[in-house]
Amino acid sequence: MIAAFGFLRLFLAVVLLILGLIFRFGDIPPNRSFGLTLPWTYADEEIWRRSNRRLGTLVLLWWAWTVFQLSVGHPESWLTALWAPLFLVLVAAFSHSARLYQQRYHTLRVARRSPPDDRPYPARGGWLAVILREMLPMTVLLAPILIIRGLGAELPERIPVRWNPVDGPIDWRFREEALTLLRHQTMVVYLALALLEGGELLWRWFRGAHRDIARVMLTRRHWLYFTFKLGWVTLFAGVNLGFVYYSRRDAPLAPFLIPGFALLALQGYLIASEVRRAEFRPPEAP
């Protein structure tokens, strides 16, 4: 099984490299069979090409992450090799193309309205407020590790690491291997989301768009991203605890997932509220 997984991960790296080079450097005409085929990418050829170039960059980053896993002997996990990178690539690619469409076709409408509320909250604190805020997902990340370590000898010899809604836990592994894999999954999710935000901030800083990164991280946009990051870290932390408690006393997994799903639902509500607020913002007084 391990050998098969290693071969598939190597095959994935080769496919990602080829696709990334084609999307990033190739000249793909607009079509409905190959490329970032979304309704808003057909608005004009420039949006199509810029969207596919960004998709190529993201796929190459995914390829680099896969090569890094192979080089350091990262534990076998479809989550870290396929599903989590795929989710991040799709979200980043879709949002970038939608932003291009918004900038091109809604510039006049947005220009007539007041500028978005970009004030930091809290207004004071700077990096101290950012650090205190980031301690929350770190606490959620570390709490299951400490709880599981406290259980110690009470843990059984085998713990599940995968499940499906029909059959329940389907992949049982020895205790140390399972705990290492579950811990790495949550850490990878947190680091991937944190690095994605950090890369975007550094890019803006290098371009001179923002000089005070701490104040930017406390604006509405980054508070929304923080709830997104906290929700996913909480969800995977719940998965860790759920699998461990299931292996101890056959406890259901669902209650441990409720906090993460609740935070993601809250984040969806906040995004919807932000969209409505921007859509119905009154025009500036002449």
- Condensed to tens digits (0 to 9), the pLDDT of residues 34-54 reads 888 877 777 688 889 999 999
Alpha helices in 152-219 (DSSP H): 175-206, 213-217
Digit-coded pLDDT (tens) for 210-236: 567 778 888 888 888 899 899 999 988
What pTM value is reported for the model? 0.59
Domain ranges of the chain: 2-105, 127-279
Q: Are 169 and 244 in contact (CB under 8 A)?
A: no
pLDDT confidence of residue 104? 75
Q: Are 228 and 252 in contact (CB under 8 A)?
A: no
Digit-coded pLDDT (tens) for 90-133: 888 887 887 787 777 764 444 444 444 567 888 777 788 888 89
Q: Are 271 and 188 in contact (CB under 8 A)?
A: no
Mean pLDDT of 149-168: 77
Res 19 pLDDT > 90: yes
